[in-house]
Chain A
Amino acid sequence: MSEGAIKKFLFVNRKAPYGSVYALEGLEVVLISAAFDQDVGLAFLDDGVYQLAKGQNTKAIETKNFSPTYRALEGYDIEKLYVERESLEARGLTEDDLLVDVQVLGATEMAALMDEMDVMISF
């Protein structure tokens, strides 16, 4: 990365949390990226919106519940969380079902947002 240049990063999350390792790996990369003082945002589309669902309890599947970590992002100065409205609606979810404050965007607005980015990284 060139010195001093702040780039706009968007991490695009499109996978449900426990069926594959994408969501957790993505979250770890986001936390690491915070050390580089870039302009970082997260987008949640498709099954990715399930990552933010309130009330996850992984005890019985013996897997780490990493959903509380999304609430730590604010402390890492990562405050831009975007969720796609169509993805929520298609899954019977609303903003109230999510465990963090987010900005809900329609697909058209999401597409416009992506067009403003310098770098997009998909998980």
Chain B
Amino acid sequence: MGTIEVSGKSYEVDEEGYLVDLSQWNEELAGEIAKAEKIEMSESHWEVVNFLREYYNEYQIAPAVRVLTKAIGKKLGPDKGSNQYLYELFPYGPAKQACKIAGLPKPTGCV
């Protein structure tokens, strides 16, 4: 357990840096988590992060990478539904890094 401080407010995160209470999420906090992951958020990054949040709202889980890739391809176009595209945006794994920035728990089955 640890905390992240943003604009005088503190947010509880687990030992791997995932937000404990996802209802606390906001874009400013996402930006801070991204900074810690050494990721500069572009519009393409936000597109994936927002997609993940929508997916979570609908299904109550963070998708596995394979499922994310397929779903992104369907929603945002086939050029974006590839491992290469997602790993360029999130080099340490789209599921791990993007989920963390989106304030979601670590995907089930993602070790």
Contacts and interface: CB of A to CB of B under 8 A. Distances in A.
Does A pair with B?
A: yes
Interface of A: 28, 31-32, 34-35, 64-66, 68-69, 71-72, 75-76
A106 B63 CA distance: 33
B38 to A, nearest CB: 27
Interface of B: 58-61, 63-64, 66-67, 70-71, 108-109
Contacts of A66: 60
What is the predominant secondary structure among interface residues of chain A facing chain B? helix
B58 A68 contact: yes
5 contacts: A31-B64, A32-B108, A35-B64, A68-B60, A71-B58
B66 A72 contact: no
A18 B106 CA distance: 23
Given A68-B58, A75-B63, A31 B108 contact: yes
Nearest to A28: B108
B110 to A, nearest CB: 9
B61 A31 contact: yes
B61 A75 contact: no
A65 B56 CA distance: 12
A18 to B, nearest CB: 14
Given A34-B67, A75-B70, A75-B71, 5 more contacts: A31-B61, A32-B108, A69-B61, A71-B58, A75-B63
A54 to B, nearest CB: 15
A101 B4 CA distance: 43
Given A28-B108, A32-B109, A34-B109, A75 B60 contact: no
A66 B60 CA distance: 6
Nearest to B68: A75
B108 A65 contact: no
Nearest to A65: B60
A40 to B, nearest CB: 13
